[in-house]
Structure 1
């Protein structure tokens, strides 16, 4: 009885030495440029804001009870839906057993109270010491979320390590490096008004240069993904500058942005929008480029004699599906972030044109569109680079042969 079988698919042979040397030189050049950008924009004399009260400190305690009492309406948010200001409103107070300092009563924002505040909740207060004849005072700060946050993070780390194993650990290290870059370079540099595009590009490129090899190992496939990511970041930067400038987005759509401007007196929040768009695009681009590079390598392993055209076509079939799903991810992620603004706009019953023209919504639309543009360009660029390199690699001996 006659039978046949095909040898299992084997990965293509290593790339020619000269090709590998060129790839290495390109990656090193990119990293050198990124390092130069970080050095040029490294923050010095970072401004800081003071509470204005010497000795003010955060203390923590447990809520023992809450109550409502009538008080005069003084805050803008206490206006009625028709725009008028009532004479009196119901104001909530909370009694808090402060750790090591007894029980105090503090006013609580109405939104916090109605959102759920009751006995047993751990909270943080700001304590202002007595001075110049004024008595010691306590002011509401926020809930004390340290324990639940710690639990969530520990569970996240455990699942990541258990499922991802070595790669999971590497991914966590990469997250730490990315967080450090944002904390010690991006944020301080923006506060000292360094060029936002240079800051975002240099930090993102340098961090990804470390993280991607740490997570996926040293290989030509990883290098293709890295170079594809860098290309996507460049496209993101160009598209973001054109879109933000053309839309006159100044980043002044929320209270935090306004507070930053007031406290620093000079920070260009347009730059914050640009840098934020670059940082947000980083994870998406890395996901797509890794997938595209892997797809091309897998196609060549299954079809050892496939040339550039076949490899590119097969890779793009995967890329189109991935692009479509990722666009949904980007759009709905930004929509979720803008949901409070959407609720407010809906309450005012604004026309669709006016809704889209508002700064907060326009900023999210620009981010989504820029992310989509970057992804649409990055997929074919990465796929083409991977196909070109893999097509140049020699076919492993015996690959694809049929024996009987």
Structure 2
């Protein structure tokens, strides 16, 4: 067996041991999400299809798999899904505006040698491809925050039914603030971990700080982090508000299975 098979077996064993049936569903959801992304990438090569619309549909499918397939359909996952899709919609407009303004789509001069043998006349709008890349890179973090807040607020309301809507919303925001710091740092260090070789290359070629900051490849990745952080920040009040209004709506069941 090669290393990938061995690591997959180890991961499956640990997810079964710790997560049980839910861990098994989580493991298979990885392959389902990979299938969605693979199909999306194949469709993105079609110049007649809009990459942004395809990305939105892919985000919805990934959300369904990650929330409903793993955690089943219930009030918490439905609210997390709605919050995620609202955030993605707002983020799409924001990212499209920022990408169009900064003009950082396409390839940087550091990548010229690697792509010199390929034709760039492929009939695809690189601006929309850049927006798609950022959304697909942030969907996981946004869903993670949404379901974390939704679950915490449901538990709080379950154990303290007398809590007011305002207090419940404030609790959701407080939970979100704690998550915001850790998730933003996760994205930040993921970038530096993935692009450590590039940073070493910048250092080896004696790039100045100004040249590094103005490098297209560096700026595009940094914008990915900032947009992802924006998405995480947006989903916190959205999820908290929807949850508080749902849980305190007259006639609604205050607990979730």
1:245 aligned onto 2:100: yes
Distance 1:187 1:256 in 2: 24
Once the two structures are TM-superposed, the CA of residue 306 in structure 1 deviates from its matched residue by: 1.0
User: Which structure has the larger Rg?
Assistant: 1
Q: Report the equivalent of 1:268.
A: 125
Q: Report the equivalent of 2:190.
A: 333
Distance 1:269 1:396 in 2: 47
Q: Report the equivalent of 1:361.
A: 218
Deviations 1:250-298 (A, max 9, x none): 2313369837952763333333322111111111011100001011111
Distance 1:200 1:244 in 2: 16
8 Å contact from structure 1 (residues 292, 318) kept in 2: yes
1:187 aligned onto 2:13: no
8 Å contact from structure 1 (residues 288, 322) kept in 2: yes
Distance 1:396 1:237 in 2: 34
Corresponding residue to 1:322 among 172, 179, 194: 179
Q: What is the root-mean-square deviation in Å for CA atoms of aligned residues? A: 2.4
The structure with the largest strand share of the pair is: 1
User: Cα–Cα, structure 1 residues 396 and 387, in superposed 2: closer, same or farther, change >3 Å?
Assistant: closer
TM-score relative to the length of structure 2: 0.90
Corresponding residue to 2:163 among 294, 306, 311: 306
Number of residue pairs aligned between Structure 1 and Structure 2: 252
Once the two structures are TM-superposed, the CA of residue 302 in structure 1 deviates from its matched residue by: 2.4
Q: Report the equivalent of 1:225.
A: 80
Corresponding residue to 1:290 among 135, 144, 147: 147
User: Cα–Cα, structure 1 residues 226 and 395, in superposed 2: closer, same or farther, change >3 Å?
Assistant: closer
Q: Report the equivalent of 1:209.
A: 64
SS at match of 2:248: helix
**Which consecutive unaligned segments of at least 5 residues does structure 2 have?**
none
Corresponding residue to 1:382 among 239, 242, 248: 239
Distance 1:260 1:238 in 2: 34
8 Å contact from structure 1 (residues 190, 271) kept in 2: no
Distance 2:77 2:253 in 1: 20
SS at match of 1:262: coil
8 Å contact from structure 1 (residues 334, 364) kept in 2: yes
| Mapping 1:48-197, distance limit 5 Å | 147-184=2-39, 186-193=40-47, 194-197=49-52
User: Cα–Cα, structure 1 residues 387 and 261, in superposed 2: closer, same or farther, change >3 Å?
Assistant: farther
SS at match of 1:211: helix
Distance 2:117 2:31 in 1: 25
